[in-house]
Amino acid sequence: MKTTSHPIRSLLIVTITLGLLSCDGWKDPGNPSGEATARQASAWPGYSGEGGRKYSAADQITPANVAALKPIWTYHTGDISTGRPDYGSTSAFEATPLLVDGMLYLCSPFNKVTALDPATGNETWSFDPKINLKGNYSNQMVCRGVSHWEDADETAGGICSKRIFTSTLDTRLIALDALTGERCQDFGTNGEVDLSSGVGTIRYPGEYSHTSPPAVIADKVIVGGAIGDHGGTQVPSGVVRAYNAVTGKLEWAQDMAPPDYDYEVHGQSAAGYALASPNVWAPMATDEELGLIFAPTGNPSPDYFRTGVPDMDYYGSSLVALDKDTGNIVWHYQFVHNDFWDFDTPAQPSFFTLERDGKQIPALAQATKMGFIFILDRRTGEPLFPVQERPAPQETDVALGLSPTQPWPVLPKPVSGTRLDPKKPFGLTFWDRGKCRKELESLRYDGIFTPPSTDWTLMFTGNAGGINWGGVSIDPERQLLVVNSSNLAWKVRLIPRADFEAVKKANYGHEIGPQRGTDYGVWREMVGSPIGIPCNPTPWGMVTGINLKTGEQLWQSTLGTTRDLAPVPLALKTGTPNLGGPLTTKGGLTFIGAAMDNYIRAFDNETGEEIWKHRLPAPAVAGAMSYTARGPDGQERQYIVIASGGFGRMPVDMSDTLVAFALED
């Protein structure tokens, strides 16, 4: 089904002469009968595979035979929400499954957890936590994945010696037996822990929630939390907490307040955590050998205006390395100083070994909303490619504690736009191009770090990125990094407190946030033409390949078309804004959905050429994964699996479908 209408559909009227695509519709193969003859399958043990790399060593599918890739089975979760009045929020099926011990595990947008046979898609068990479906979840109803834990004691083999952990939108951490889906009764109370306890006052269901899978290391399960944008200075704490994987007991807690923060003077929750500290909503990563947990932090709340001493920014918009046993901060690296642009660190870091001067360096790649990719030493947080501190704009009419400089990686180069020329807008006709130019030229703008103001200010890239939660994929053998990114202009305006209620009432339906406890609310929206098309130049979506040995870009290709953003199949190769990440395989391909059209695509890792695509029932706003398994016919196949669910905030198809592809013969 389609969501509510949107002005971008009007592009059809203007561009009908540009040509039509054939209506190659989605055909659902359903679930083949019969079970897999053997549960032999390669593993995908974490949300992004091994080390957060989104890489599969399977090589059955190659550029030479990818044309024979077809849907083999599908699974339907049954969970879709298009928002009020039936549910409190829209939904997005953004899950990437795990594959452990020959079983696929995934979650639905309503936090339903399911175990599937990897060769047939047949359901083995399902668990429904029955979350509060009326919550006003600011990040939509989303569950991006679950986590697996196994008792290290080889003699253990009883109930719940292998567990699936899920953290829910309504703030629960639940432990399930991996074989049966039954609650692990020894964990917390009735198999769950209340994550809302102690973080501060939660004013409405959904203000504090969980969308990312928990991190797992040794005998600990670690969770952050997602806090809605624009709330204010007294929103719940961004504390990171570790729980014992067997008992559910709280082992340690680390919030991201500055080192000199005076909790008694500046405020704290009942449990002693700093309120409005930077939160960790993106997936974390763990390194068993180093004993570290890597937490990507958001900016402090509220997003576009803060006052007071000390500013909570010290650990904000950073990557923070925590000791697994104590939670103590070992090192941190900040990607944005004094972030007033909502440039959260949005993605899980990806591990690899950097080969340099005959040495093997434990490294990570961290994607950011600015379209910057930072390559750091996992042991110390030191950059492995040069980073410059460049002067940043300072002019604004409000009192912001702006940093005089911002960090810019010299290599790799940004993968999305960092500068927009208002005199060169996009437009389908002279008329709408002129409207866009007038709009862009009316906005305050001095580059990517132009500070907010009470006048409309251009943000390019904006709060959506650049790169978002999909992150990067890494082929460790080729030393290749692949990443998708967006180019989309936004505008932001600070609203004086005395005017806020009147402005909000007069502009119902726009994104206008209160930023309680400050002198200003905020209004932000995409910069679009009168017919709803982005005013900034194309491409609006891209995929980029980077050589990790040199930091240089190898190729860059457009990602997505307007094929499903109009009521008839009209495809303009503009690229589209995108969410969800790439999957890179040893076979020489990168598979990706992410774009706002109903396709999964394959790109050649050597050239960046799009060499295959296949229709889906809805945009695949999720990360793909891959494994090999023996099917009912005894044949070993490589599977590509992706969630095709759409995106409730865009005028696109919605679905509840998990699709598995394999070579036809």
pLDDT in tens, 70-121: 999 999 999 999 876 778 899 999 999 999 999 999 999 999 999 999 999 9
Q: Is 2 within the bounds of a domain?
A: no
Residue 493 to residues 422, 445, 499, 532, Cα–Cα distance (Å): 18, 12, 12, 20
pLDDT interval class at 383 (50, 70, 90)? very high
pLDDT interval class at 214 (50, 70, 90)? very high
pLDDT for 273 equals 96
Find all residues with CB under 8 Å of 383, minimum gap 6, and list them. 333, 374, 375, 376, 377, 409
- What's the CA gap between 473 and 481, in Å, rounded? 6
Q: Is 1 within the bounds of a domain?
A: no
- Write down the catalytic residue from 170, 229, 342, 475: 342
The dihedrals phi and psi of 528, each to the nearest 5 degrees, come to -130, 160
pLDDT for 311 equals 79
pLDDT above 90 for 599:
yes
pLDDT for 567 equals 59
pLDDT for 566 equals 65
Output 6 or 626, whichever has higher pLDDT.
Answer: 626
Q: Is 110 within the bounds of a domain?
A: yes
Q: Is 386 within the bounds of a domain?
A: yes
Q: Is 115 within the bounds of a domain?
A: yes
pLDDT above 50 for 36:
no
> Mean per-residue pLDDT for 40-55?
90
Looking at residue 304, which CATH number applies to its domain?
2.140.10.10
> Mean per-residue pLDDT for 41-59?
93
pLDDT for 149 equals 97
Q: Is 502 within the bounds of a domain?
A: yes
Residue 231: both structure tokens together: 């709330």
pLDDT digits (tens, 9 = 90+) for 119-146: 999 999 999 999 999 888 977 899 999 9
Residue 210 to residues 348, 441, 517, 578, Cα–Cα distance (Å): 15, 39, 25, 21
Q: Is 569 within the bounds of a domain?
A: yes
Helix (H, G, I), strand (E, B) or coil at 566: coil
Question: Taking a C-beta distance cutoff of 8 angstroms, is the pair 261, 255 a contact?
Answer: no
Q: What is the tally of structural domains in the chain?
A: 1
pLDDT digits (tens, 9 = 90+) for 562-590: 988 865 667 899 999 999 999 999 999 99
pLDDT interval class at 633 (50, 70, 90)? confident
pLDDT for 307 equals 82
pLDDT above 90 for 10:
no
pLDDT above 50 for 1:
no
CA-nearest of 626, 558, 619, 627 to 593 is: 619
Output 306 or 380, whichever has higher pLDDT.
Answer: 380
Mean pLDDT of the chain: 92
pLDDT for 3 equals 37
| Domain of residue 398, residue span | 7-663
DSSP H helices in 416-548: 430-441, 497-506
To the nearest 10°, the Cα dihedral for 43, 600, 353, 586? 70
CA-nearest of 585, 621, 627, 584 to 600 is: 621
41-50, 466-475, 569-578: range with highest mean pLDDT = 466-475
pLDDT digits (tens, 9 = 90+) for 511-534: 999 999 999 999 999 999 998 889
**Catalytic residue list contains 342:** yes
Q: Report the 10 Å Cβ neighbour count for 221.
A: 26
Q: What is the pTM of this model?
A: 0.94
